[in-house]
Structure 1
Amino acid sequence: MKLSPSIPADAAQIQAALTDPKRLAAVRDTGLLDTPPEDVFDRLTRLAAKLTGAPVTFVSLLDADRDFYKSAYGLGESLGTTRQLSGRTFCHYPLVSGEALILEDVTQLPVFRDVPTVNSLGIRAYAGIPLRTDDGEVLGSFCAVDFKPKQWSELDMEIIVELAQSAMREIRLRKALKDADALNQQLQAQIQKVDELNRALSEMATTDPLTGVANRRAFDHSLQLELAIVERRSTPLSLLMLDVDHFKRINDTFGHETGDKVLVAIAQMLSGCARVIDVVARVGGEEFAMILPNTDAEGAQEVAERMRIAVAQSNWLGQPTTVSIGAATLQDKEDAASLHARADAALYAAKTSGRDRVVMA
């Protein structure tokens, strides 16, 4: 087999290649540095050793200041355990040239006989194939070494080249899987953000921004749902309409900011009086509604009176704040519009008859 050219790279060229940022990024992006041995790579180095007769074969990844051996067949216990080597190595020369390095007797060439592993490990023959990405970046080498001079045959090199290509295919696969996992995580994060935005938008669409209770849209939707349940189960359903008495006077006397605080306080009080199944909504400026599932007229009046008294006993402004309440219980074959109209009429009656009272439709 023809030997590699006898004009190898110098130290400056090797250092520049080792520390090239783009190449280093490609090496580290494989995700293989400092990972445990894997049989898929170990099979390739074992096969290379058996087919070529080389006692040592390895897959070397070149970091900035070390060679990391993803697979190492036949190395001594110490190096086989640490699986890395610092200082100048034979694998640095294919890195610079981008071509195979074939040495039958390293001691015959002055530069190569000075490579530290010649003395530390006793290396005499070396054959290494660069592991190159599709972008042309050299990640490392697929190598075979011998501790005595060796004439590498054409078949030896065909085997090493083929197994190097297999190693590179596996590296590309790992990179693709790593990229796919990263993309999947990004996708999951984006989906989560979209879900959060959708929940926020849904809440904005159904929640009154001032008081935090349901808005008119949510109230109308909930009332239709409760009517459907009544139709299936024949359970009672009641509706309360509430209006803050003399609210314009509150705004004019204390200011709109104080008026808003009163509305928030009343909404909280109504929610505190409600059950989990009840729906409290702000359906107008100072007007609230409460849907009472599975509640008959007697129960509706009891709830309404409890709410009226709770508000009347408050002292948010240094003086009583009151509400008027109209209540209606669903009649046979009645629709949402009719129920709402009767509750509204009862509310109007409560307002016109003196306020701070409950009127049943």
Structure 2
Amino acid sequence: MNEILALRRPGAANAPFSAPVLDDDESIRLQALDAYEILDSEREKSYDDIARLAAFICGTPVALISFFDRDRQWVKARFSSSTFAQTTPNLPRSQAFCDLTIAQPEPVIIVADILQDPRFAGAANIIAPAKLRFYAAVPLVAPTGAVLGSLSVLDRRSRTISPEQTSALQTLARQIMELLDMRRTVIGLSAANARLGQQSITDALTGIPNRRAYDQKLNEEVSRARRTGSPLSLLMVDIDMFKQYNDTFGHMAGDTALQSVARVLLTSLRPYDFLARYGGEEFAIILPATDLSDAILVAERVRALVSNSEFPHRKFTISIGVARLDLEAGLKAMVQTADNGLYRAKASGRNKVVVGNLEKILAAE
């Protein structure tokens, strides 16, 4: 058992604390605590410095910055002088002084002599091993009024702290809350940036990756292929006669059709393949670790699935150009080769898979 904060409320000397009851107030408190994502976070010098400063100001051998979870007291920062035992300060709430701080929040809690305080009448057998006598704590209170934790100082001798020291502890507690508020702001900004980042690489209409995401992914896969020597193939896909469909049924119907085709394409691919909307009615499919023969098989499967699927108003077919990365020719040549295959597939009657002519691309340069 921890020697520093293993304290009990008045009552039977041998009766353990019961587990905290999770009422509405406690649920609200835990939600407020969760918003800061502080529990089980890594050590941070800013918190360590505040704990050290609290001990220095109050002249105590120990200072703790603690947060009160559902069933435990978790210590974010701790200062202990060399004369005080280095024991782990994290405790179950059934053995800690958290509940008094939460249930009876005061600006400052000062216990000059724990052995003489009636609130700890049954705790002598717990306090004795640590020879703990003095305890003072300032609750860490969120703007909602919820008590998240405490800044506390402890000593092995009976004593008190001056009004100036008390005021300094309260100032340090406010600094901790400012650190927490900055932490929550950073968390919010990170989440917002993640959402914006996801939006910037997602096609708003179809919900699949957009051209920007495709460019990033293709560069990554080409770099990987160069590094590992694994094959890489690319499919360029175009919906046949889509302009005619738009002219006949309207652009809203066209948008719905694009969404439907994107869903069908997704279902036809392997988990590691990458589908993106290239632009208009054109899609690109990146096939990592896929040689040309396998890429042709994937393309034929995709083509057949689309042609056999039902869509609003009428069926669709697609034309597909296929290319494999030639490491000497590079990325640009692969894209041009796939475009060449797509052009030839459409020119020769559509609803076809055609391998692009790399030699023709290289000869034209």
TM (norm. structure 1) is 0.55
Quote the offset at 1:276 in angstroms: 3.0
Q: 2:217 aligns with which of 222, 243, 262?
A: 222
Matched with 1:353 is 348
- 1:280 alignment partner, SS class: strand
Report the CA distance shift for 1:71/1:222 in structure 2 as closer, same or farther (over 3 A).
closer
* 1:316 and 2:311 aligned: yes
Matched with 1:258 is 253
Q: Note the alpha carbon deviations across 1:239-269, whole angstroms, 9 max, x for none.
A: 0000011111221222211211111122222
Q: 2:118 aligns with which of 67, 76, 81?
A: 81
Matched with 1:207 is 202
* 1:197 and 2:197 aligned: no
- 2:300 alignment partner, SS class: helix
Please give the alpha-carbon distance, in whole angstroms, between the structure 2 residues aligned to 1:291 and 1:245: 20
Larger Rg: 1
Please give the alpha-carbon distance, in whole angstroms, between the structure 1 residues aligned to 2:213 and 2:109: 64
Please give the alpha-carbon distance, in whole angstroms, between the structure 1 residues aligned to 2:349 and 2:264: 22
Please give the alpha-carbon distance, in whole angstroms, between the structure 1 residues aligned to 2:181 and 2:349: 62
Matched with 1:340 is 335
Structure showing the higher helix proportion among its residues:
1
Please give the alpha-carbon distance, in whole angstroms, between the structure 2 residues aligned to 1:69 and 1:312: 75
2:226–2:327 CA contact under 8 A, matched in 1? no
Superposed CA RMSD: 3.0
Matched with 2:277 is 282
Quote the offset at 1:208 in angstroms: 1.2
After the TM superposition, which residues 87-98 of structure 1 pair with which residues of structure 2 at under 5 Å, given as runs?
A: none
- 2:283 alignment partner, SS class: strand
After the TM superposition, which residues 1-361 of structure 1 pair with which residues of structure 2 at under 5 Å, given as runs?
A: 70-71=110-111, 81=118, 166-361=161-356
1:330–1:339 CA contact under 8 A, matched in 2? yes
TM (norm. structure 2) is 0.54
Quote the offset at 1:74 in angstroms: 12
- 2:206 alignment partner, SS class: coil
Q: Note the alpha carbon deviations across 1:102-158, whole angstroms, 9 max, x for none.
A: xxxxxxxxxxxxxxxxxxxxxxxxxxxxxxxxxxxxxxxxxxxxxxxxxxxxxxxxx
Quote the offset at 1:329 in angstroms: 1.1
- 1:283 alignment partner, SS class: strand
Quote the offset at 1:298 in angstroms: 1.1
Please give the alpha-carbon distance, in whole angstroms, between the structure 2 residues aligned to 1:222 and 1:195: 23
Residue segments in structure 2 that go unaligned for 5+ positions in a row: 1-57, 61-105, 121-158, 357-365
Please give the alpha-carbon distance, in whole angstroms, between the structure 2 residues aligned to 1:69 and 1:328: 73
* Percent identity of equivalent pairs: 37
1:41–1:70 CA contact under 8 A, matched in 2? no
Please give the alpha-carbon distance, in whole angstroms, between the structure 1 residues aligned to 2:257 and 2:114: 83
- 1:223 alignment partner, SS class: helix
